[in-house]
Chains A and B, each alone.
Chain A
Amino acid sequence: MTDSAPMLDHGQFSKLFPFHFIVDADMRVIDTGSVLARVCPKIVPGALINDHFLLFRLASEPIKAFNRDFIARQENTLFVFKSTSTDLMLRCQVLILRDPERYLFLGSPWVRNPTELKALHLVLQDFALHDSTVDLLQLVQATSTSLHDAKQLSEKLEQRVADRTAELSMANAELSRVMRSKDDFLSAMSHELRTPLNAILGLSESLAEGVYGDMNTKQVKSINTIAESGHHLLALINDLLDIAKIGAGKMELELTKANVEDLCQASLRFVMEQAQKQKINLKLVMDNQSVMLTADERRLKQILVNLLSNAVKFTPNGGSVTLETKCDLESESLMFSVRDTGIGIATEDLKRLFSPFTQLDSKLSRQYAGTGLGLTLVMKLVELHGGSVAVESEIGKGSCFTVRIPCKGLDTLNQHNPSGTISLTEITPAETLPSNTPLILVADDNEINLMTVTDYLRANKLRVIQARDGLEAVKMVREHIPSLVLMDIQMPLMDGLDAIAHLRADDKHTDMPIIALTSRAMVGDRERCIAVGANDYLSKPVNMKQLVKTIRAHLPNDETL
């Protein structure tokens, strides 16, 4: 100490260092701080400090008999003493005093949490204010409390996540249940709605054909309205079910290699009758006539027929509708464009064109019949193929709907193939199935029936050629020698009965299986058909599975697949 250092009395010194102690050269206690004296009452002047404290060094055994030499050597290190009678540990700094030789230990208890304070019977006031031990204890306590709170918060959040997850799982389960119920409902409704509708359509057809006797003009008009409404309803149900299936992710595409020209021809044929009625010029323009496309043929045809039907429907008499195909090598896709010279669509209406049940002008709803689902279905089917639909239109000039279907390897597949505009009269159906596949001639003057039966048979791995009247049927049998003939009875130019009779009159065709197909369900029909040479007889509306079963039953064994 210098002269300027403050001289403290014992009380002041003890207040500043309440845990200090002083020993002499023999390690006997000379003095202790007030709090140490209270906590360790046996450490009194004259007591040997070694009897009351063990000296700890880091990572070593406690030193029981420390002496002045040891302390002198360690003057600049930290001393940690452990009481032999209590849990008290003191961390101290030593100061060697001279004349007389004494050793002053200044320090405070080593405590790591407030609980240890309690065990040592210490309170915060026992510490000198300058001693940061209390601040550290308070900090430790605060940190510990914060950690506890954070843990609680984390648990609460985890619980909330768990609760929410459970709620979502329940909601998902409920949603799945509802979706299943919806699918079940749709499936049941499909059956329930179609069954009576088949009867309505079948009987309407029979009535219109005079099966149940002649009808007056009003009755004919009424029955035609019933039939038209029935077909409309059937189309609506089919479209709705398709959209529902796509929405539920249950529609799976049956991808096959399809001949694009065949596909276009078949689609155009579907609208040909209506186009002819309206004197609309139908054209097919292909930049490559031999292109093949991997797609679901039936669905692609559904897309094209929908667009073509719309085009014909909204094109005035004398206009034109063109189906155009174009290979886009850069994007490896095939473009189908349906262009018409119809009424056109206003720009502001284009946005809602693909929404369900949308006809842009309510007046059009009355003028042009439609389900209102056609374009929605087109869009969804195209998307299912990974493609897109674009539309360009101008009021009064016409519209052009372009469908893009991805087609990998287009460049290598379609080199050196000619392009051009094809007259529809030149169209002949081409088959993609092997030539040894049974060939079925379907003769029917009703385009819907023709298309339905053709699609179904092709889907069942049968090649199909078509005729639309009895004369054409006889001609095609002679040209193609089919494996079996499916003959409608009510047809123009030559009915089915006469056509069968003509064929049976030819020695070449006496063994050819012929199945008569008619909406006549009168007593004696079967016998009349069998009498002219039919091998079997089915009445409309025909069950498709039953039809295929019957066809297979009549095919020679080596021709069935």
Chain B
Amino acid sequence: MHGMINKSIEDLVTIQFGADKWEAVKKKAGVTETAFVSNQSYPDAMTYGLVGAATEVLGLTADQVLYAFGEFWVTHTAFKGYGDMLMSAGRTIGEFLDYLPLFHTRVALIFPNLKPPRFECSDRHENGITLHYFSDRPGLSMVVVGMLNGISKLYKTPAVVTHTKFKDKGADHDEFLVNWGAADQK
């Protein structure tokens, strides 16, 4: 898993719940890293372990943690590390989401040791888009929902995200409808 994901979990827990909680999460997950480096690859099991430990330490459900993490990833961690790049990805939420597949293609090109998820866009229209999410990593669709809400906040464009296809219920991938109404302005 991309180091930025773990870093984001660390930032989320530390900023919103306190450093002692983060130390408790790390201890519970058996993680000994002092800090994570964004573009380094870490074992997926470590990330799942951190999420699992966070649910226990913080008293939240896995979905709550994953959603919070997804949103936080966009608004804080990714914004902090890739803010200019993120904001250059589109003038509007629509342009941004349309660029998302290409962004991940480029991540895979730059970091061949990482295994980013794949996105596709369809049904583009003025106030919405359908986003298709393909990943071999199970159970992370709530992260995507959180991220989409984060992007909506980043572009100051209120949006409604609807999870329409579920891989864990038999579909070949997850699908999300993102609608932002008429307020798409930036």
Q: Quick check: is B122 within 8 A (CB to CB) of the other chain?
A: no
Residues of chain B within 8 A of A156, CB atoms compared = 34-35
- Cβ of B90 and Cβ of A138 under 8 Å apart? no
Q: Quick check: is A228 within 8 A (CB to CB) of the other chain?
A: no
Residues of chain A within 8 A of B166, CB atoms compared = none
Residues of chain B within 8 A of A150, CB atoms compared = 37
Please tell me which one of the listed residues A125, A139, A149 contacts residue B38 in the complex, with CB atoms under 8 A apart: A149
Q: Quick check: is B82 within 8 A (CB to CB) of the other chain?
A: yes
Q: Quick check: is A219 within 8 A (CB to CB) of the other chain?
A: no
- Cβ of A123 and Cβ of B88 under 8 Å apart? yes
In the bound complex, what is the Cα–Cα distance between A113 and B106 (angstroms)? Answer: 16
The answer to whether A115 and B107 touch (CB under 8 A), given A145-B38, A149-B38, is: no
Please tell me which one of the listed residues B7, B36, B84 contacts residue A115 in the complex, with CB atoms under 8 A apart: B84
Q: Which interface class (under 10, 10 to 19, 20 to 34, 35 or more) fits A?
A: 20 to 34
Q: Quick check: is A433 within 8 A (CB to CB) of the other chain?
A: no
- Cβ of B37 and Cβ of A124 under 8 Å apart? no
- Cβ of B3 and Cβ of A149 under 8 Å apart? yes
Looking at the assembled complex, report how far the CB atom of A127 sits from the nearest CB atom of chain B, in whole angstroms: 10
Please tell me which one of the listed residues B39, B91, B102, B103 contacts residue A146 in the complex, with CB atoms under 8 A apart: B39
Please tell me which one of the listed residues B85, B98, B111 contacts residue A114 in the complex, with CB atoms under 8 A apart: B85
Q: Quick check: is A160 within 8 A (CB to CB) of the other chain?
A: yes
- Cβ of A117 and Cβ of B88 under 8 Å apart? yes
- Cβ of B88 and Cβ of A142 under 8 Å apart? no
- Cβ of A160 and Cβ of B34 under 8 Å apart? yes
**Contact mask for chain B residues 78-92; partner A; CB cutoff 8 A; 1 contact, 0 none:** 000110110111110
Residues of chain B within 8 A of A123, CB atoms compared = 88-91, 95
- Cβ of A153 and Cβ of B34 under 8 Å apart? yes
The answer to whether A145 and B39 touch (CB under 8 A), given A115-B84, A157-B34, is: yes
Q: Quick check: is B64 within 8 A (CB to CB) of the other chain?
A: no
Looking at the assembled complex, report how far the CB atom of B105 sits from the nearest CB atom of chain A, in whole angstroms: 10
**Contact mask for chain B residues 22-57; partner A; CB cutoff 8 A; 1 contact, 0 none:** 000000000000111111100000000000000000
Q: Quick check: is A77 within 8 A (CB to CB) of the other chain?
A: no
Chain B residue with Cβ nearest A119 = B84
Looking at the assembled complex, report how far the CB atom of B2 sits from the nearest CB atom of chain A, in whole angstroms: 10
In the bound complex, what is the Cα–Cα distance between A117 and B89 (angstroms)? Answer: 10
Residues of chain B within 8 A of A153, CB atoms compared = 34-35, 37
- Cβ of A142 and Cβ of B39 under 8 Å apart? yes
- Cβ of A124 and Cβ of B81 under 8 Å apart? no
Interface centre among B39, B90, B111, by most A CB within 10 Å? Answer: B39
**Contact mask for chain A residues 138-161; partner B; CB cutoff 8 A; 1 contact, 0 none:** 110111011011101100110010
Looking at the assembled complex, report how far the CB atom of B109 sits from the nearest CB atom of chain A, in whole angstroms: 6
- Cβ of B81 and Cβ of A145 under 8 Å apart? yes
In the bound complex, what is the Cα–Cα distance between A380 and B27 (angstroms)? Answer: 45
The answer to whether A142 and B110 touch (CB under 8 A), given A125-B99, A153-B37, A156-B35, is: yes
Q: Quick check: is A118 within 8 A (CB to CB) of the other chain?
A: yes
Residues of chain A within 8 A of B38, CB atoms compared = 142, 145-146, 148-149
Looking at the assembled complex, report how far the CB atom of B148 sits from the nearest CB atom of chain A, in whole angstroms: 19
Q: Quick check: is A40 within 8 A (CB to CB) of the other chain?
A: no
In the bound complex, what is the Cα–Cα distance between A531 and B88 (angstroms)? Answer: 117
The answer to whether A118 and B87 touch (CB under 8 A), given A123-B95, A156-B35, is: yes
The answer to whether A124 and B34 touch (CB under 8 A), given A134-B106, A142-B110, is: no
The answer to whether A146 and B88 touch (CB under 8 A), given A124-B99, A135-B106, is: no
In the bound complex, what is the Cα–Cα distance between A137 and B88 (angstroms)? Answer: 11
Q: Quick check: is A96 within 8 A (CB to CB) of the other chain?
A: no
In the bound complex, what is the Cα–Cα distance between A118 and B83 (angstroms)? Answer: 11
Looking at the assembled complex, report how far the CB atom of B106 sits from the nearest CB atom of chain A, in whole angstroms: 5
Looking at the assembled complex, report how far the CB atom of A60 sits from the nearest CB atom of chain B, in whole angstroms: 32
In the bound complex, what is the Cα–Cα distance between A243 and B81 (angstroms)? Answer: 62
**Contact mask for chain B residues 106-118; partner A; CB cutoff 8 A; 1 contact, 0 none:** 1101110000000
Please tell me which one of the listed residues A114, A139, A143, A148 contacts residue B88 in the complex, with CB atoms under 8 A apart: A114
Chain A residue with Cβ nearest B35 = A153
Please tell me which one of the listed residues B36, B37, B90, B107 contacts residue A125 in the complex, with CB atoms under 8 A apart: B90
- Cβ of A149 and Cβ of B87 under 8 Å apart? no
In the bound complex, what is the Cα–Cα distance between A142 and B107 (angstroms)? Answer: 9
- Cβ of A114 and Cβ of B84 under 8 Å apart? yes
- Cβ of B84 and Cβ of A122 under 8 Å apart? no
Residues of chain A within 8 A of B106, CB atoms compared = 134-135, 138
Residues of chain B within 8 A of A129, CB atoms compared = 102
Residues of chain A within 8 A of B91, CB atoms compared = 123
Residues of chain A within 8 A of B35, CB atoms compared = 149, 152-153, 156
Looking at the assembled complex, report how far the CB atom of A421 sits from the nearest CB atom of chain B, in whole angstroms: 68
Looking at the assembled complex, report how far the CB atom of B162 sits from the nearest CB atom of chain A, in whole angstroms: 26
Looking at the assembled complex, report how far the CB atom of A132 sits from the nearest CB atom of chain B, in whole angstroms: 10
In the bound complex, what is the Cα–Cα distance between A117 and B84 (angstroms)? Answer: 8
Residues of chain B within 8 A of A141, CB atoms compared = 81-82, 84-85
In the bound complex, what is the Cα–Cα distance between A149 and B91 (angstroms)? Answer: 28
In the bound complex, what is the Cα–Cα distance between A148 and B90 (angstroms)? Answer: 25
Residues of chain B within 8 A of A152, CB atoms compared = 35
Contact residues of B between 99 and 137, Cβ < 8 Å to A: 99, 102-103, 106-107, 109-111
Residues of chain A within 8 A of B40, CB atoms compared = 146
In the bound complex, what is the Cα–Cα distance between A327 and B89 (angstroms)? Answer: 89
In the bound complex, what is the Cα–Cα distance between A115 and B82 (angstroms)? Answer: 10
In the bound complex, what is the Cα–Cα distance between A165 and B151 (angstroms)? Answer: 44
In the bound complex, what is the Cα–Cα distance between A156 and B22 (angstroms)? Answer: 15
Interface centre among B38, B81, B88, by most A CB within 10 Å? Answer: B88
Chain A residue with Cβ nearest B98 = A125
In the bound complex, what is the Cα–Cα distance between A135 and B35 (angstroms)? Answer: 27
Looking at the assembled complex, report how far the CB atom of A121 sits from the nearest CB atom of chain B, in whole angstroms: 9
Looking at the assembled complex, report how far the CB atom of B130 sits from the nearest CB atom of chain A, in whole angstroms: 19
Interface centre among A113, A118, A123, by most B CB within 10 Å? Answer: A123
* Given contact pairs A141-B85, A145-B81, a sample of 10 additional A-B residue pairs in the complex whose CB atoms are under 8 Å apart: A124-B88, A124-B89, A125-B98, A125-B99, A137-B85, A138-B110, A141-B84, A149-B3, A149-B39, A156-B35
What are 29 of the A-B contact pairs (CB < 8 Å)? A114-B82, A114-B84, A118-B84, A122-B88, A123-B90, A123-B95, A124-B85, A124-B89, A124-B102, A125-B90, A125-B99, A129-B102, A134-B106, A135-B106, A135-B109, A135-B110, A138-B107, A138-B110, A141-B81, A141-B85, A143-B39, A146-B37, A146-B40, A149-B7, A149-B37, A150-B37, A152-B35, A153-B34, A157-B34
The 4 closest A-B pairs by CB, nearest first: A114-B84, A145-B81, A153-B35, A149-B37
